[in-house]
Amino acid sequence: MINATKKWIFLKISGVLLIPLMTWFIINFIAIYDQDYFTLVNFFTDTLSKLLFCVFVINAYFFSALSISEVFEDYIKNDQIKSVANRLLYTSAVVIPLITIILLSRL
C-alpha cells in the first residue's frame, strides 16, 4: 500500500474516533467547568475518565500531526526543511501526550 494511502486511512480513522471522544470531553467539561478543585481531581482520578482522556489526547495529537504533515508536504518545497519540520512535529506529537499521561497518572 502506498504511504500516502496509509496516511489518508489513518487520518480518516482517527477523525472518526475523535468525534465521540470530543463529544464525551465537551459534555464532561461543561459538567465540571463551574465546580471546585476537588470535583476536577475526582474526575481525573476516575479510571474510566483518565483512560478516555488519555485516548482522547493521544488521538487528537495523532490526528493533528497527520494533518499538519500534509500541509508541510504540500507547501514546503525544500526537502531538508520539510524533513526537519516533520521530525519536530512527530516528536512533539509523542512528547506532549506522554507528558500529559505521566502527569495524569500522578493524580
Q: What is the pLDDT of residues 6-36, one digit of tens each?
A: 888 999 999 999 999 999 999 999 998 888 9
Whether residue 3 is predicted with pLDDT greater than 90 in this model: the reply is no
Task: For residue 35, give the CATH number of its domain.
Answer: 1.20.1300.10
CA 96, 77, 5, 14: dihedral to nearest 10 degrees?
20
Cell of 61: 495529537
- Give me the mean pLDDT over the 44-73 stretch: 92
Q: What is the pTM (predicted TM-score) of this model?
A: 0.84
Give the three-state DSSP class for 46.
Answer: coil
Please count the structural domains in the chain: 1
pLDDT at position 107 is 74
State the average pLDDT over residues 69-83. Answer: 92
Question: Does the pLDDT at position 1 exceed 80?
Answer: no
Range of the domain at 63: 3-105
The phi, psi pair for 35, rounded to 5°, reads -85, 175
